[in-house]
A and B are shown apart, each in its own frame.
Chain A
Amino acid sequence: MPNSLFTFPKRLPDVPRDIAMYRTATQAVLSRKAAANADFAHRVKLYSMLFKTSTPVQEFGSFVLFREAEHSLELFRLSHSLRWTHNTLAHRESAPKAALPAEKEVQKLAAKALQDYQIDSANAKFQSIAYSQVVVATAPGGKKAVRNTEAHAIYGFSLDGIPVVGPGAKLRASFVEEGQMSQLLHFWRQPAKGKAVRIKTPQQALERFAQDPRFMRLSAETAVVDIHDIEFNYYALSPSDFQQYLIPVYSVKGTVKTTAFPRYDFTHRIVAVDLSPEQIKGLAAVANPGSCAVF
């Protein structure tokens, strides 16, 4: 791929020629069928019981909300997603009254929470622990103490060994001192394996990437686009978005450097199946097929 603006990785991943499409069950939720409504009503009933809600449900279109005095529970209509949040402990700025649980303990607490709240984690695996941090300054200059305010157990999803990425594939349980849960995020759509489709090769994906309009105004004399990594993934849209299939994508990580803007690290996704916007519309795969090529 000769192109002096781009530098490509020396090694490309081995990817099968055909890959299974995963249909998500949200089409049932979208329809007006009694079964779809019953499915959502069942989720509302189940989770309001498990999370012990007592207030009336509030309707916000793409999600419903139970806003309790101590916590809130959001249930999303267009995916099988939920967000439970402790109103004062989640994202707080105040210092913990005792040490946060150790990493191993956070992992154990998270596993128990998934079980207690009947979270479908069949395709998820524990990945890492991360922290929210707060720093308060009371005068310019001077040393400031960084405090960890929450510990998050982060899980990653995969299907057939292929990572599922994007905001709609997120499972995370967060904890503060004494093992109290501060937030539980489960953004996911239950997938059903569908037929296999032919996908682009990594080389074809990079050729498509190099033609993306984002780079049309860059000149090789003043800019370089250095691609570090390319990986095959399924992509899940935001939990409140319509999505009928997980999108097979190549995730391309790289850096753009120009004389005016020294560094822009990016991750872009190239749709890995060769479908026209018309074909995507025909499948009713996503709400806006025109947005799907490189994103």
Chain B
Amino acid sequence: MGTIGIEWVNKYHGRASDLKNNDDNARGFYNTLDGIRQFEYGDDLAWDQDFEQSGAGVPTSGTDQIYADNVDIAFFSGHGSQSGPFFGVATHDDGTARSTEVRLGDRYCNWVVFDACLVLAYDDGAVFDRWGWPAFKGLHYILGFHTTTGDSGDRGRKFAEYLNAGWRVRDAWIRACQDTEGSDVYWAYLRADQSGTDTYNDHWWGKGYVSPDPTAPTSLAYANGPC
């Protein structure tokens, strides 16, 4: 059975405008998906370093080995930008889980969801420079948005319901986005593969095929479309 970790932020202490629904959104995912609930941190206890590799980038305070990379699926809900998911406090690291510091899959993480604006904005191919190769150390997918997105309170629950119902991970994410946004918002994902893997057909654990980990990916597929 798969393991689940979530982090969410509504309170930004003036670093950005506050949000309202990220607790409901992330908890909906956490409490609905069939699996082992391993961690939940919200607001001031949600830290960017929990998604970052120890020793990578600056500051080097990453602790993903006990948080995001210690579960099969990690879900973040809050503000975001091309720089990465944005957190409410910057006292432990710099408050942004930057692509230069995210290295997932060298432990357990197969899928990470950044339910936040613009983290996967295509930007004429710059998404590959940001999230491309170094972030994928066995990670199968980064799921998120090409555009800005709404402050949804139930996308996480719907995503979990579709995973539980046996849809592939990519189909479940797209369906959840279609159910919660208008067509002006674009879902997106970035997916890694290598010889012997088939992450395209990934399902949630216990619901169908799960690919072996692409530990040294030879291709990255980026996709986006209207919700």
In the complex, A136 has a CB within 8 A of chain B: yes
Q: State whether B18 touches A134 (Cβ < 8 A).
A: no
- 15 A-B interface contacts by CB (under 8 A): A91-B174, A130-B226, A131-B225, A132-B225, A135-B223, A137-B132, A152-B183, A154-B226, A217-B18, A238-B179, A258-B14, A258-B15, A260-B16, A260-B95, A266-B17
Pick from A134, A219, A262: contact of B14, CB under 8 Å:
A219
* A60-B162 Cα distance, complex, nearest whole Å: 10
B212-227 with Cβ < 8 A to chain A: 218-227
Q: State whether A83 touches B178 (Cβ < 8 A).
A: yes
Encode contact with B along A234-259: 1 for CB under 8 Å, 0 otherwise: 00001111000000000000001010
Q: How far is the CB of B190 from chain A (nearest CB, A)?
A: 10
Q: Which residues of B have CB within 8 Å of A223?
A: 14, 17
Q: State whether B16 touches A256 (Cβ < 8 A).
A: yes
Q: Which residues of A have CB within 8 Å of B79?
A: 261, 264
Q: How far is the CB of A274 from chain B (nearest CB, A)?
A: 21
In the complex, A161 has a CB within 8 A of chain B: no
In the complex, A291 has a CB within 8 A of chain B: yes
Whose C-beta in chain B lies nearest to the C-beta of A165?
B182
Pick from A135, A238, A263: contact of B221, CB under 8 Å:
A135
Encode contact with A along B1-36: 1 for CB under 8 Å, 0 otherwise: 000000000011111111111000000000000000
Given A132-B223, A240-B158: 14 more A-B contacts, CB < 8 Å:
A91-B174, A130-B225, A136-B221, A167-B181, A167-B182, A170-B183, A214-B20, A217-B14, A223-B14, A238-B154, A256-B17, A260-B95, A265-B148, A267-B150
Whose C-beta in chain B lies nearest to the C-beta of A222?
B14
Whose C-beta in chain B lies nearest to the C-beta of A155?
B183
| A144 and B218 in contact, given A167-B181, A263-B81 (Cβ under 8 angstroms) | no
Whose C-beta in chain A lies nearest to the C-beta of B124?
A146
Q: State whether A134 touches B223 (Cβ < 8 A).
A: yes
Q: Which residues of A have CB within 8 Å of B161?
A: 60
* A260-B79 Cα distance, complex, nearest whole Å: 12
Q: State whether A130 touches B148 (Cβ < 8 A).
A: no
* A231-B95 Cα distance, complex, nearest whole Å: 34
In the complex, B203 has a CB within 8 A of chain A: no
In the complex, A3 has a CB within 8 A of chain B: no
* A217-B158 Cα distance, complex, nearest whole Å: 31
Q: State whether A167 touches B165 (Cβ < 8 A).
A: no
Whose C-beta in chain B lies nearest to the C-beta of A74?
B175
Q: How far is the CB of B43 from chain A (nearest CB, A)?
A: 12
Q: State whether B180 touches A167 (Cβ < 8 A).
A: yes
Q: State whether B165 touches A264 (Cβ < 8 A).
A: no
Q: State whether A140 touches B15 (Cβ < 8 A).
A: no
Pick from B15, B122, B148, B220: contact of A266, CB under 8 Å:
B148
Whose C-beta in chain B lies nearest to the C-beta of A58?
B165
In the complex, B128 has a CB within 8 A of chain A: yes
Q: Which residues of A have CB within 8 Å of B153?
A: 291
Q: State whether B16 touches A133 (Cβ < 8 A).
A: no
In the complex, B170 has a CB within 8 A of chain A: yes
In the complex, B125 has a CB within 8 A of chain A: yes
Q: State whether A261 touches B16 (Cβ < 8 A).
A: yes
In the complex, A218 has a CB within 8 A of chain B: yes
Q: State whether A137 touches B90 (Cβ < 8 A).
A: no
Kindly list the 8 A-B residue pairs having the minimum CB-CB distance in the complex, ordered from nearest. Answer: A132-B225, A261-B16, A260-B15, A256-B17, A217-B14, A135-B222, A214-B18, A134-B223
In the complex, B133 has a CB within 8 A of chain A: yes
Q: State whether A167 touches B219 (Cβ < 8 A).
A: no
Encode contact with A along B109-145: 1 for CB under 8 Å, 0 otherwise: 0000000010000100100110011000000000000
In the complex, B171 has a CB within 8 A of chain A: yes
In the complex, A98 has a CB within 8 A of chain B: no
In the complex, A166 has a CB within 8 A of chain B: yes
Q: How far is the CB of A222 from chain B (nearest CB, A)?
A: 7
Q: State whether B11 touches A214 (Cβ < 8 A).
A: no
* A219-B14 Cα distance, complex, nearest whole Å: 7
* A135-B132 Cα distance, complex, nearest whole Å: 12
Q: How far is the CB of A177 from chain B (nearest CB, A)?
A: 17
* A185-B117 Cα distance, complex, nearest whole Å: 24
Q: State whether B179 touches A239 (Cβ < 8 A).
A: yes
| A140 and B132 in contact, given A135-B125, A214-B17, A238-B154 (Cβ under 8 angstroms) | yes
* A265-B117 Cα distance, complex, nearest whole Å: 9
Q: How far is the CB of A185 from chain B (nearest CB, A)?
A: 7
Q: State whether A132 touches B226 (Cβ < 8 A).
A: yes
Q: Which residues of A have CB within 8 Å of B175?
A: 83
In the complex, B86 has a CB within 8 A of chain A: yes
Q: Which residues of B have CB within 8 Å of A130?
A: 183, 225-226
Q: Which residues of A have CB within 8 Å of B227?
A: 167
Whose C-beta in chain A lies nearest to the C-beta of B151?
A295
